């Protein structure tokens, strides 16, 4: 069965769960006070940089997200995977991506990883999906946006716990109604678990995904159940495409160039208290010329790319504001925990595209049928002072904005430098919902919950999430990292790194500019031991070939 996406959702009936029945029975008993469980709104931006949001130092207009920051907590040391699908697998499982089925991106799985546990290329059946746990506990569960965790029906969002969805199943493509992928292939969308024949004429991803979530919530608002809504935005992932009225929103704003824009952002970050006054800055990449070395035409084209990107971010923010406004007018806002994050650092890699995309006329850039990216220079702007960008385990690839506000968040406009990992998000949501994780799911033993709840920081009862002996780890594309407290052990393959372990003190050196491995062998060796433990715990298989490191001697 296939259908055309249109405004309004199809109503279906579901068998009531045992948990929901128990909840109804308890609510009917005299003398039993029932505190309403919070709604949860999880908003994920796709490829937004650490400094793009206004409340994180950006000049882009993001009043809706900034309003959430003004009544919530900004986390300045929040860490994800350097690419989308591994992050999303951890976000919806609470397990490391090597346990959650995305030990590598499906499209880059190395020959020596294929067929191995943890490298299935989809959200593993050996985890307990967050939406399924919440659904079984009586939550309405909704998703709209990008999935990128399996393209077979048994892997769709509808099969992993969402009762309603409007989903782009693969990892990216057009934001418009043409349903094109990067190479002109047709992209698969689902609507409540069924493939879509076509999108609404005039479809734009940020607008339509947001509308779908609003419609989902409104459809079932009278049933009294709390909701978990996952708004997995496609913006501002390339191609940068916008409704006509948004195309020139930032005209002329970036004529000063990427060097000046980056410097201004870093100064604002310092003024906001997000960076220390003497924070280090990773230098402009040698492959990127200084702005004043570009020709007039090169400057014009480069600035135009950033204008479109900025408009994508503001358009995303406006739609988030529309959703927040709906929650307020419907009386749901005060009972909703709201979480905003980006899935990885800004995209600095330029991808090869082919027909039918046509970028030949700059006047048409940003319209349907064009595939505009902005490259490493502007990605370094998005990363602020941090090293590199998406695809790399340096800070620019894995440190992104996180804002948590709403139900049970104490204090307004607080900034936390607690070390936080994306696996902490499902742990926090389950904790807030009063739902326990499980050792088995659908008859299978599942990976344990590895994250830690953020509740102590959100309630303003603690400054930390982790103890001094806790650590977190990463591996992707053969690059690897371990962080404990402010110390980070990093291996980046050449030519992007040293091809060996480097050690950085992120408290003094967030730009990762000074390698202390030879000066502090005690810390280097301690963290290297944690790396060995990380490999064993998560069944890490280093790839014998990767899109970043090329051929390796792994495996």
Q: Please state, in angstroms and rounded to a whole number, the distance separating the CA atoms of residues 220 and 226.
A: 10
CB-side exposure of 416: number of CA atoms within 13 Å?
31
Work out the end-to-end distance of the chain between its first and last CA atoms, rounded to an integer number of angstroms.
43
List the structure tokens of 380.
């370094």
Integer angstrom CA distances of residue 522 from 503, 517, 518, 529 = 11, 9, 9, 11
Does the bond joining 229 to the residue before it have cis omega, within 30 degrees of 0? no
DSSP 485: T
Q: Please state, in angstroms and rounded to a whole number, the distance separating the CA atoms of residues 19 and 21.
A: 5
CB 175 within 8 A of CB 204: yes
CB 183 within 8 A of CB 170: no
Does the bond joining 39 to the residue before it have cis omega, within 30 degrees of 0? no
Q: Which of 235, 12, 231 is nearest to 143 (CA)?
A: 231
Q: Indicate the pairing of strand 73-75 with strand 414-416.
A: parallel
Count of CB atoms situated within 10 Å of the CB of 67 = 17
DSSP 56: G
Q: Please state, in angstroms and rounded to a whole number, the distance separating the CA atoms of residues 240 and 237.
A: 7
Q: Please state, in angstroms and rounded to a whole number, the distance separating the CA atoms of residues 393 and 488.
A: 11
- Residue spans of the domains in the chain: they are 41-352+362-551
Task: Give the Cα-Cα-Cα angle 510, 72, 237 (nearest 5 degrees).
Answer: 60
The number of residues making up the chain comes to 555
Secondary structure class of 195 (helix, strand, coil): strand
pLDDT (0 to 100) of residue 117? 97
CB 454 within 8 A of CB 424: yes
Q: Mean pLDDT, 10 residues at a time, over the chain (555 residues)?
A: 41 36 38 70 98 98 98 98 98 98 97 97 98 98 98 97 98 96 93 97 98 98 97 98 98 98 98 97 97 98 98 98 98 98 96 89 98 98 98 98 98 96 98 97 96 98 95 98 98 95 98 98 98 98 94 67
Catalytically annotated residues: 84, 148
pLDDT (0 to 100) of residue 244? 98
pLDDT (0 to 100) of residue 335? 98
SS (H, E, C) 121-174: CCCCCCCCCHHHHHHHCCCEEEEEEECCCCCCHHHCHHHCCCCEEEEECCCCCC
pTM for the model: 0.94
pLDDT (0 to 100) of residue 183? 87
CB 93 within 8 A of CB 123: yes
Q: Please state, in angstroms and rounded to a whole number, the distance separating the CA atoms of residues 213 and 226.
A: 14
List the structure tokens of 131.
């939406």
**Fold designation for 41-352+362-551:** Alkaline Phosphatase, subunit A (3.40.720)
Does the bond joining 525 to the residue before it have cis omega, within 30 degrees of 0? no
């Amino acid at each position: 069965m296939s259908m055309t996406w249109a405004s309004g959702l199809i109503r279906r009936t579901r068998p009531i769960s045992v948990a929901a029945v128990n909840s109804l029975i308890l609510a009917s008993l005299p003398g039993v006070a029932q505190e309403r469980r919070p709604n949860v709104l999880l908003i994920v931006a796709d490829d937004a940089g650490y400094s793009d949001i206004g409340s994180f130092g950006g000049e882009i207009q993001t009043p809706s997200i900034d309003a959430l920051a003004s009544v919530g907590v900004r986390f300045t040391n929040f860490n994800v995977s350097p690419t989308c699908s591994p992050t999303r697998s951890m976000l919806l499982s609470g397990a490391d991506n090597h346990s959650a089925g995305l030990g590598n991106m499906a499209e880059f799985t190395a020959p020596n990883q294929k067929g191995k546990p943890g490298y299935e290329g989809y959200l593993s059946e050996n985890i307990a999906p967050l939406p399924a746990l919440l659904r079984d506990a009586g939550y309405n569960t909704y998703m709209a946006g990008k999935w990128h965790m399996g393209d077979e029906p048994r892997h769709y969002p509808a099969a992993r716990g969402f009762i309603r969805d409007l989903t782009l199943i693969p990892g990216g493509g057009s934001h418009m109604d043409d349903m094109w992928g990067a190479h002109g292939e047709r992209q698969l969308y689902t609507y409540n678990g069924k493939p879509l024949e076509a999108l609404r004429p005039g479809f734009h991803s940020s607008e339509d995904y947001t509308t779908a979530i609003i419609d989902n919530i409104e459809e079932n608002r009278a049933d009294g159940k709390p909701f978990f809504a996952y708004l997995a935005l496609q913006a501002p992932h390339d191609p940068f495409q916008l409704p006509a009225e948004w195309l020139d929103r930032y005209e002329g704003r970036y004529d000063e160039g990427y060097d000046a824009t980056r410097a201004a952002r870093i100064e604002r970050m310092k003024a906001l208290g997000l960076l220390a006054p003497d924070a280090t800055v990773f230098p402009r990449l040698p492959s990127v010329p200084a702005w004043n070395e570009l020709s007039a035409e090169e400057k014009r084209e480069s600035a135009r790319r950033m204008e479109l990107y900025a408009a994508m971010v503001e358009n995303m923010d406006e739609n988030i504001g529309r959703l927040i406004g709906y929650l307020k007018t419907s009386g749901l806002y005060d009972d909703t925990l709201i979480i905003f994050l980006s899935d990885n650092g800004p995209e600095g890699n330029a991808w090869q595209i082919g027909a039918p995309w046509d970028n030949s006329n700059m006047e048409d850039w940003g319209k349907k049928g064009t595939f505009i990216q902005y490259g490493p220079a502007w990605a370094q702007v998005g990363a602020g002072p941090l090293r590199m960008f998406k695809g790399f385990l340096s800070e620019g690839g894995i440190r992104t904005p996180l804002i948590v506000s709403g139900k049970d968040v104490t204090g307004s406009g607080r900034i936390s430098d607690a070390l936080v990992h994306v696996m902490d998000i499902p742990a926090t949501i389950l904790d807030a919902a009063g739902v326990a994780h499980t050792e088995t799911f659908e008859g299978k033993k599942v990976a344990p919950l590895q994250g830690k709840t953020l509740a102590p920081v959100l309630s303003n009862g603690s400054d930390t999430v982790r103890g001094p002996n806790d650590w977190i780890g990463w591996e992707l594309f053969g690059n690897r990292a371990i962080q404990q407290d402010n110390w980070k052990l990093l291996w980046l393959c050449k030519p992007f790194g040293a091809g060996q372990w480097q050690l950085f003190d992120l408290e003094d050196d967030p730009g990762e500019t000074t390698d202390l491995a030879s000066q502090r062998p005690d810390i280097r060796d301690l963290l290297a031991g944690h790396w060995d433990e990380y490999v064993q715990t998560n069944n890490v298989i280093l790839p014998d070939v990767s899109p970043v490191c090329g051929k390796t001697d792994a495996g």
